[in-house]
Copies of this chain bind each other. A is one copy, B any other.
Amino acid sequence: MNMANTITLLTDFGTEDSYVGAMKGAIACIHPSPLIIDLSHDIPPQDIAAARYVLMSAYPYFPVGTVHVAVVDPGVGSQRRAIAIQLEAGFLVGPDNGIFSGVLQTHTPLQVVELTNPQYWRTDTPSQTFHGRDIFAPVAAHLANGLPLRALGRAIAPDSLITLAIPEPTLISDRMNGEWIGAVQYCDRFGNAVTNLSERLLQTTNWHVLVTSAAKDRVVVAGVNHYGAVAEGDYLAIVGSSGWIEIAINRGNAQQELGLGIGTTVRLVL
């Protein structure tokens, strides 16, 4: 058994109350020297789609063996499954509600279990409203301690996991250099809208994005390689730090101005 120490937490619990602290305490009861890293606790309440993106965009930067706990869990206490997933580079622990489907788009699960073994929970009568503290955090600490995944419960088929549907970009025309339909998959706190259009689609430096939103008629957004390429207040499209094309306004809030949200369709024209 190899021991790891990095455990990340991602929730919609906020930081005012004791919920996050209690999860960390539950970890410290099991792991002697965890490195607990907060991805975010400010996910909008119950916004699984936002959590899916935040997790997938942080995931590649963590060491092998890291255990990622994600708890945006509107179905807690219902029949939704509690799961743990082993990947080549680490583990995912949380509810089976699509929150992991961003990471799983590009990383193949080696093994998936349903957390049916109460031996590794904090208590065998967990709170009906707080599996983060009573199930997910303790299970994560045991995984970091080197416990094999299969000890946590019964194996389930990876293709039985719930997927959060954000449609893959589609090539709709290959006249000229091509044209792709994609969608916004996240809006960050600066109002930048991250699409699911990858920089790998860009075969040319001359490209633009078309946005048709509730707030505006069709807007043509020029692709650039730094913010300063457009005047303050102007739209721009740029490759963000995770490799996705983002729609932004230089020193402004594109999400608000354009009325964008997760799922809004965008069109990339090469």
Contacts and interface: CB of A to CB of B under 8 A. Distances in A.
Contact of A18 (B28, B40, B122, B226): B40
Count this chain's copies in the assembly: 3
A130 interface: yes
Nearest to A9: B21
Interface in A122-181: 122, 127-130, 133
B78 A228 contact: yes
A29 B59 CA distance: 12
Interface string A208-227: 00000000000000000111
Contact of A21 (B24, B39, B78): B39
Contact of A38 (B8, B15, B40, B77): B15
Contacts of A259: none
A74 to B, nearest CB: 9
A57 interface: yes
Sorted from nearest, which 3 A-B pairs have the closest CB atoms?
A130-B241, A25-B61, A18-B58
15 contacts: A14-B42, A15-B15, A15-B40, A16-B189, A19-B241, A22-B57, A29-B61, A29-B63, A33-B33, A34-B35, A35-B36, A61-B122, A78-B226, A128-B226, A129-B240
